[in-house]
Chain A
Amino acid sequence: MKKNLYLLIAVFMVASMLLAACGGGTQAPAPTATEAPAAGDTPGVEPTETAEPTPTYLPPATPEAGKIQVRWFVGLGTGTDPGQQLDQKKIADDFNASQDKIQLILEVVPYNSATDTLSTEIASGNGPDIVGPVGWSGSNAFYGQWLDLKDLIAKNNYDTTDFDPALVNMYQTEEGTVGLPFATYPGAVFYQKKMFDEAGLAYPPAKYGEKYKMPDGSEVDWNWDTLTKIAKMLTVDKNNKDATQDGFDKTQIVQYGFDPQYMAPFHLADYISGAAKVYTGDKKGEYKAALPDGWKAAFKWWYDGMWGPQPFIPDGAKEQSADYASGNPFDGGKVAMAVTQSWYTCCIAEAGSSWELGVLPADANGKVNGRVDADTFRVWKGTKHPDETFQVLAYLLGPSAQALTKTYGAMPARKSLLEAWFNDEKTQYPFVKNWDIFTVDLVYVDVPSGEGYMPNWTEAWNRTVTFQTLMQNNATMDFDAEYNKMIDDLTVIFNK
């Protein structure tokens, strides 16, 4: 009897381990709430290279004697895919063929190790001359390391008239002029027309200033309050009752009204309450986290949208489930509205052919708070060849901008290149009519950026993302206590 028992246990264990070895494949767990594709450089938007075949990284070119070498570091944002590497190499080769004084050397580093590599290079005094494409988050990790371009812009009479002044202004920071516009990603409401049709609701406005027509015929302002009301009407349980109806079963929701697609808390707060500096004090030891009350209200709005009596936003588990496209719920076709950036067109192939763009809702005071993600190239302040590096920068932002923005899937900051970008988008999504919204939205730049500088940026940002995942995964969270804890932690992090 005892012998048989031993044998049974042993066989069970061996079978378990053999099954373990065979099952599931090597696929990593579903991406987490804050992960989005590599388009742009949004915080928490880290390319999931581990789940993909390891790309081959091009070796840097050999330095040529008699030429000044300008090193171009790629890896802090997009630009590391094999195809992108080849496109960038061609651009570098074209530049090198065009003149005989400067050699542009492309250095592509895997995204996951790019921060460490750049840190080490800078620490050893061997930093690259030019870094990019890089967004606010990648740049903030190296705050204080970027060259103020003001003098070089003046010295070279660099023409900025092809850029929207709001975008040029976006790069004026405490560090000086730390960049010039290259690629922009304004935000908009993405919505599914067929879901609105099924619910008998009017579509979100296509122009700023237009009213929204409610089901009872009344016309109201298109603001976050209105969006919340219709998001609840668009949230449906398996019995086809919406969140505002009696008998709605919030445990059996089959369609949600809204999702803050690929957003972190500060992004959403920017949209709902407006851009703000998040700390006070001007030196270590005196910094203090100072988030506006409106931001706290925005976080609470998100939390209640998931866990309140009439939920209309998918929680973390739902958002990550296969039914909701494993973290990309709007693309899963079960979310009626999402607010996100223009780079989202990269990742929306499965959302069907009924989606459309609407204008951003206004806040309670009638003010539209937009948000613009942006990628550019930055110059390391330790560069030994600032003039030559600026020549390369001008080349990347000028003659190469169209090819580069195309390979990065980015909306060009140059007005003269916008038409070509829109034509590409229209070819890919012929059913979408309201592309102009993205152009108009460039006016609504968040200054300071929702990803703007705060001391110890990366750690502080990660702390807010931890708060986000807690909100998304905990229905019984003590919101005020956790919020206050985050604020206290931020103050400590700012002063580290």
Chain B
Amino acid sequence: MFEELSNFKLRIPGKGRNLTGGERREARYGLSFISLWIVGFLAFTLIPVIATLIFTFVDLKITDGILNPLKFVGLQNYETLFKDSQVWNSLGVTLKFGLFALPVAILFPLLLALLMNSKSLKASTLFRSLFYLPVIIPFVAAVFLWGGMLNPENGWINQALAAMGVAQASLPRWVNDTTWVYPSYVIMGIWGVGNAMLILMSGLQGVPTELYDAAKVDGAGWWATFTNITLPMISPVIFYNLTLTIVELFQYFLVPLVVNHGTGEPGGATLFFNLVLYKTFFTYQSMSYGATMAWLLFVVILIVTIVLFATARYWVYYASESNR
């Protein structure tokens, strides 16, 4: 093995020949230019990632201090994790919310994009800007704003409902009610769909017009054109949005932290996985158990993403691949 290492020489991948002196010098320059980035990557990404993996095998509290020797506990944190119904409940909460939020997060921006892309819409640039505007508002500020609007007592939504004759006792209690809390969060999320809308619009504008012309000649109606041309052609963009949204849903955190103070209220309905993870690290001060939960989240997201990519071949259409 050592012999192999000593014989190791830089090679150009796939070409099977040694680097020339100039190429080697160029590589050295390149490496020196990115060395700062490498140091940053090691210090702030790779080493912390490895550290969290090590933490999962020790018993470490924040207050233990950095100079104390680590106490190795083997797989104990993983054993606890599998017995910890709170962790699995929080994963359940996340999935349950995902069932509400995912369809809306995908379909609503798609509808908006179709609307914005319509030739019949006047002043589409203005509308586009207006719909994108919320994205540039800091998310925490937007969440506070929505929290105020959905306030059961003095938010304007309930005031409007009351003005329309809804009885005081029947007004939704929004984020304070187990029935309404997820719809409330979804409503808050809708406000920030401008980014997804923009990405889908770029997809829609990339659909070759001759396909539409051909469909028109064939007598296809709006729905047939949409399902047979538009949807397949923008399916890679939808797939991209879907993947990002699923990952974001697993990491859902800020809204329950700000709106429901991170308490899990009402009745534990807002104890999302990432919130429990955050609390484990910083409120309960358990670095090792928090790290174990973080790795569980990583594995779950990885599995879901792999499954998603595996299914992509059945419904995502890549024109470049079909031409091969």
C-alpha spacing A472/B84, complex, angstroms: 24
Cβ contact within 8 Å between B264 and A29: no
B147–A33 touching, CB < 8 Å: no
| A316 CB-CB contact with B under 8 Å | yes
User: Does A32 contact B120, Cβ atoms closer than 8 Å?
Assistant: no
Closest to B124 in A: A10
Task: Knowing A10-B127, A123-B64 are in contact, say whether A320-B173 is a contact too (CB < 8 A).
Answer: yes
Question: When the two chains form their complex, are residues A465 and B86 in contact, meaning their CB atoms are under 8 A apart?
Answer: no
- Compute how far the CA of A50 lies from the CA of B283 in the bound complex, rounded to whole angstroms: 18
Q: Is the CB of B63 within 8 A of A123?
A: yes
B156 touching A19, Cβ below 8 Å:
yes
Smallest CB separation, B41 vs chain A (Å)? 25
Q: Residue of B at shortest CB range from A127?
A: B63
Taking a contact as CB atoms under 8 Å apart, the answer to whether B146 and A20 are in contact is yes
Chain A residues within an 8 Å CB radius of B80: 492, 495-496
Size of interface on A: residues with Cβ below 8 Å to B: 65
A119 adjacent to B63 (CB under 8 Å): yes
Is A384 part of the contact surface with B, judged by Cβ < 8 Å?
A: no
Q: Is A7 located at the chain interface by the 8 A CB criterion?
A: yes
Stretch at the interface among A69-77, A426-434, A456-464: A456-464
With A32-B260, A123-B66, A125-B67 already in contact, the answer to whether A469 and B191 are too (CB < 8 A) is no
Check A7 against B122 for contact (C-beta < 8 Å): yes
Q: Which residues of chain B have C-beta atoms less than 8 A from A488's C-beta?
A: 85
Nearest B-chain residue to A18, judged by Cβ: B130
Contact of A496 among B67, B154, B286 (CB under 8 A): B286
How many residues belonging to B are interface residues under a CB distance threshold of 8 Å? 65
Identify which of B17-25, B95-103, B198-206, B265-273 touches chain A.
B265-273
In B198-251, the 8 Å CB interface with A consists of none
* Minimum CB distance partner of A460 in chain B: B284
Q: Could you say which of A27, A50, A123, A470 contacts B267, with CB atoms under 8 Å apart?
A: A470
* Contact of B259 (CB < 8 Å), options: A7, A29, A463: A29
Contact B283 A492 (CB under 8 A): no
Q: Does A316 contact B263, Cβ atoms closer than 8 Å?
A: no
The answer on a CB contact under 8 Å between A462 and B154 is no
Contacts of B146 in A (CB 8 A): 20
Q: How far is the CA of A124 from the CA of B177 in the complex (A)?
A: 42
Q: Are B284 and A456 in contact (CB under 8 A)?
A: yes
Residue-by-residue, is A6-28 near B (CB-CB < 8 Å gives 1, otherwise 0)?
Answer: 11011001100101110111111
User: Per a CB cutoff under 8 Å, which of A17, A119, A462 touches B62?
Assistant: A119
Task: Report the separation of the CA atoms of residues A29 and B112 in the bound assembly, to the nearest whole angstrom.
Answer: 29
Chain A proximity mask over B271-282: 1 for CB below 8 Å, otherwise 0: 100000001101
B65–A28 contact, CB under 8 A?
Answer: no
Kindly supply a per-residue 1/0 record for chain A positions 448-480, scoring 1 wherever the CB is within 8 Å of any chain B CB and 0 otherwise: 000000001011001101100110111000000
Please encode chain A, from 325 to 354, with 1 for each CB lying within 8 Å of some chain B CB and 0 for all others: 010000000000000000000000000000
The digit string for B70-87, where 1 denotes a CB below 8 A from any CB of A, is 000000000010011110
Are the C-beta atoms of A496 and B63 separated by less than 8 Å?
Answer: no
Within 8 A of B (CB), among A147-196: none
Q: How far is the CB of A415 from chain B (nearest CB, A)?
A: 36
- How far does the Cβ of B212 sit from chain A's closest Cβ, in whole Å? 16
Whether A322 is near chain B, meaning CB under 8 Å from some CB there, is: yes
The complex places the Cα of A120 from the Cα of B261 at a distance, in Å, of 22
- Nearest chain A CB to B150 CB, angstrom units: 7
Residue A122 is within 8 A (CB to CB) of chain B in the complex: yes
Please, which residues of chain B bring their CB within 8 A of the CB of A24? 145, 148-151, 154-157
Contact with B154, one of A32, A122, A322, A456 (Cβ below 8 angstroms): A322
How far is it, in angstroms, between the C-alpha of A462 and the C-alpha of B275 when the chains are bound?
A: 13
B316 at the interface (CB under 8 A from A): no
Asked if residues B261 and A116 are in contact (CB atoms below 8 Å), the reply is no
Could you list 28 examples of A-B contacts with CB < 8 Å?
A10-B127, A13-B131, A14-B131, A23-B155, A25-B148, A26-B145, A29-B147, A29-B174, A29-B259, A29-B260, A115-B283, A119-B282, A123-B63, A284-B59, A316-B266, A317-B177, A320-B173, A326-B153, A456-B284, A456-B286, A459-B283, A465-B263, A466-B263, A469-B267, A470-B266, A470-B267, A474-B178, A496-B84
The 3 closest A-B pairs by CB, nearest first: A23-B156, A24-B148, A470-B267
